[in-house]
């Protein structure tokens, strides 16, 4: 470890599982204090306890602005500041054809995956602007860029996250705050396991299924995405803002392999 985040304070939403968990672990290992934000109390508390010093779990439903405001305030009260806000919590939401969309499912997907990111950006900016420093990261998806690879509403809001992030990056650079988006490819996590293995706890099944279609020899792991998040969060990316970083084995940027 390079201790690239020593003295920094990071909040990670969706931090109890998958990409968020791996990122909380990596940020902590790199010297940051981490605030794990999630609706999974047991897993979030267990992770914070395992990490020990410099780690805290705050139950946060990102679709509720008051929860996100309290998350940010707790990070500042407990650790003195907020340097990195990772808006990563997400749900797959409704699957199926557009004409079968249940609007309650669509509303929930929008609330968690987009409203949650807006809340995170708003409250992170509130405490970062006076310090003229900070990094805001958000998780999009290849489904936000390419058609036909994700559920409709999920794809729509993941595209919106990119637009939001680029727009906010243009506003906040004058305040010394960098704003970037990460696009993970198909990652071995409970979310993916729920789709490809029909069981969110079957990570081995997900790994096997994703291994069969892996573009670069092995499935992408949450830690691979965490490494991208670390780069963007660190001073190595001091002048990197308004970018979309795919950690997706070239799914969105490179041409598709021949059939
Ligand atoms: P995951 O299911 O392992 O983790 C998501 C976490 O978000 C869970 O801990 C869950 O409890 C939490 N969460 C859900 N609703 C929440 C809410 N309202 N408030 C707070 N937390 C909430 O999934 P993951 O694969 O780690 O996904 C993380 C992010 O990466 C998501 O935004 C997802 O859309 C995105 N993503 C994942 C993949 C993939 O292949 N796994 C690919 C592209 C993008």
Asked about 154 being catalytic, the answer comes back as yes
Which residues lie across from 179 on neighbouring strands? Answer: 136
Residues paired with 85 in a beta bridge:
11, 136
- Which ranges of the chain have pLDDT less than 50? none
Which protein residues touch ligand 1 with a CB less than 6 Å away? 13-14, 16-20, 38-40, 60-63, 88-91, 112, 139, 141, 184, 186-187, 189-192
Cα–ligand 1 centroid distance for 5 (angstroms): 23
Q: How far is the CA of 118 from the centre of ligand 1 (A)?
A: 16
User: How crowded is the C-beta side of 50, counted as CA atoms within 13 Å?
Assistant: 13
SS3 of residue 253 by DSSP:
coil
Distance from Cα 92 to the centre of ligand 1, integer Å:
8
Given phi > 0 = left and psi -120 to 50 = alpha, else beta, which region is 69?
A: alpha
The string of pLDDT tens digits covering residues 49-71 is: 999 999 999 999 999 999 999 99
- What's the CA-to-centroid distance between 144 and ligand 1, angstroms? 15
pLDDT at 95: 86
Ligand 1 pocket, mutate which of 13, 18, 62 (most atoms under 8 A from CB): 18
Cα(33)–Cα(5) distance, integer angstroms? 9
Nearest-atom number in ligand 1 for the CA of 192 is 41
Instruction: State the CB neighbour count (10 A cutoff) for residue 61.
Output: 19
pLDDT at 68: 99
Instruction: Report the pLDDT value the prediction gives residue 90, as an integer from 0 to 100.
Output: 98
Query: Ligand 1 pocket: which of 16, 19, 44, 65 to mutate (most atoms <8 Å of CB)?
Result: 19
- CA–CA separation, 116 and 94 (whole Å): 17
Rounded to whole angstroms, the Cα distance separating 192 from 48 reads 24
Q: Distances from the Cα of 102 to the Cαs of 74, 114, 123, 141, 156, in angstroms?
A: 36, 18, 30, 22, 15
């Amino acid at each position: 470890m390079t201790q690239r985040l020593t003295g920094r304070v990071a909040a990670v939403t969706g931090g109890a599982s998958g990409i968020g968990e791996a990122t909380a672990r990596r940020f902590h290992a790199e010297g940051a204090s981490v605030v794990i934000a999630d609706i999974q109390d047991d897993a979030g508390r267990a992770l914070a306890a395992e990490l020990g010093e410099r780690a805290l779990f705050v139950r946060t439903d990102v679709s509720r602005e008051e929860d996100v405001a309290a998350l940010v305030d707790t990070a500042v009260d407990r650790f003195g500041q907020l340097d990195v806000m990772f808006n990563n919590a997400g749900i797959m939401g409704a699957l199926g054809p557009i004409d079968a969309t249940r609007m309650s499912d669509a509303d929930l997907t929008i609330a968690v995956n987009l409203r949650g990111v807006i809340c995170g950006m708003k409250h992170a900016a509130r405490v970062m602007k006076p310090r003229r420093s900070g990094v805001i990261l958000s998780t999009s998806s290849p489904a936000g860029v390419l058609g036909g690879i994700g559920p409709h509403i999920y794809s729509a809001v993941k595209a919106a996250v990119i637009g939001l992030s680029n727009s906010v990056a243009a506003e906040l650079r004058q305040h010394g705050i960098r704003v970037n988006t990460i696009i993970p490819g198909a990652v071995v996590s409970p979310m993916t396991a729920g789709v490809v293995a029909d069981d969110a706890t079957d990570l081995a099944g997900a790994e096997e299924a994703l291994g069969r279609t892996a573009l670069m020899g092995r499935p992408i792991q949450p830690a691979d995405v965490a490494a991208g998040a670390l780069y963007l969060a660190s001073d190595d990316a001091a002048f990197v803002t308004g970018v979309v970083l795919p950690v997706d084995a070239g799914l969105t940027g490179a041409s598709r392999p021949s059939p």
